[in-house]
Amino acid sequence: MIQFLQQLINGLSIGSVYALMAVGYSLVYSIMNFSNFAHGGVIMLGAYFGFFSLTLLRLPFVPAFLLATVGTTVLAIGVERVAYKPLRLRNAPFLYFIISAMGASILLENIVIATIGPTFRTYPEVIARAPISIGQLAIGRLDLIMFAISACCLAGLILFIEKTKMGKAIQAAAYNIKACALMGVNTDRVILIVFGLGGFLAGVAGVFFGMKYTVYPQIGNITTKSFIAAVFGGLGSLPGAVIGSVLLGIIETLVSGYISSQFRDLIAFVILIGVLIFRPTGIMGKTTLDKA
């Protein structure tokens, strides 16, 4: 029972970071009708922004954390302006957006390799690694902070979507962006805000993932897991993205703890295939057309 609770705690921690990534996917998907594969590059640079803010600029953790999130917010908006807006203005097919997203992801990764190098880098110890013991359970301080901040960010996003005027505009655009534009909503600004929110969450996820593991140019590949979580929960559904991410994190840790860590990645793709075959809309998704 103790081992199960320990794995459950570990799963909630990593699942909360998956949720930050998956929500970024779902936000863009709900508005733009395509999967933003450049999101992984933004997360990767968020990890680097946080690392260099701590090591080169020697900032305390909180200013370094905020600087990283501001950097990824600006970067995500820049990617939308350069890679996607020209396609939107020409009413390009969704396939073109996906190709552009993949190109942007590869470009960001190779810029980092060419300028910073492929070396693995480790965050300095800004949070004590000694776990907090509760009986026989050991809770990592970093895991606890990751879960708490991720939960606060996700709760803040939900409140923003549900309670603010811009949040209502985002909901309207997600339902029908063309009708939303006809009603006088500035859809270009809505898209800008959506990418900015996704970039902010990507920065939070990048810093935490870099702190928990290491920083390297291919770290953005972890967003494959968050994409699986978004599909599992239902692409375009924010609650679905959160639920799918938490479930995926728990399932992965249980598989690692009770079977073998070698099956951790395998189970994620088995879940993806199973969802696509038996329930393509995911747990909370809706049936939609022309989305890829």
**Global confidence as pTM:** 0.89
Residue 123 belongs to some domain of the structure: no
Alpha helices in the chain (DSSP H): 2-32, 39-55, 61-79, 85-89, 94-115, 141-163, 165-175, 177-182, 187-212, 223-233, 238-258, 264-278
C-alpha closest to that of 43 among 132, 126, 108: 108
- By the 10 Å C-beta count (0-12 exposed, 13-18 middle, 19+ buried), 19 is classed as buried
Spell out the residues 6+ positions from residue 22 whose beta carbon is closer than 8 angstroms to its own. Answer: 226, 227, 229, 230, 233, 241, 242, 244, 245
- Is the torsion defined by CA of 264, 198, 125, 4 positive or negative? negative
Gap between the Cα atoms of 197 and 194, Å rounded: 5
Contacts of 291 (CB under 8 A, 6+ apart): 29, 33, 34, 94, 235, 236
Buried b / exposed e along 245-258 (16+ C-beta atoms within 10 A): bbbbbbbbbbbbbe
8 Å CB contact between 34 and 291: yes
Q: Is residue 141 part of a domain?
A: no
Q: Are 41 and 102 in contact (CB under 8 A)?
A: no
Q: Which two tokens stand for residue 37?
A: 């594969």
* Tens-level pLDDT at each residue, the chain (292 residues): 778 888 888 888 888 888 988 888 888 888 888 888 899 999 999 999 999 999 999 999 999 999 999 999 999 999 999 999 999 999 898 889 999 999 999 999 999 999 999 999 999 988 877 788 877 787 888 888 988 998 899 999 989 999 999 999 999 998 888 889 888 889 999 999 999 999 999 999 999 989 988 999 998 888 788 888 888 888 777 888 888 888 888 888 888 888 877 888 788 888 888 888 888 778 776 555 444 4
Cα separation values, 192 from 49, 84, 108, Å: 21, 11, 20
What pLDDT does 278 receive? 84
CA distance 148 to 183: 39
Q: For residue 274, is it within any domain?
A: yes
Give domain status of residue 44, yes or no.
Answer: yes
Is 94 domain-assigned? yes
Asked, for residue 125, whether it belongs to a domain, the answer is no
Count of domains forming the chain = 1
Assigned domain for 138 exists: no
pLDDT at 286: 57
Domain assignment present for residue 231? The answer is yes
CA 208 – CA 195 distance, rounded (Å): 20
The pLDDT, as a whole number, for residue 59 is 94
The span from the CA of 192 to the CA of 185, in Å, is 13
Measure the CA–CA gap between 205 and 44, rounded to whole angstroms: 9
Domain containing 97: what range?
Answer: 2-114+164-278
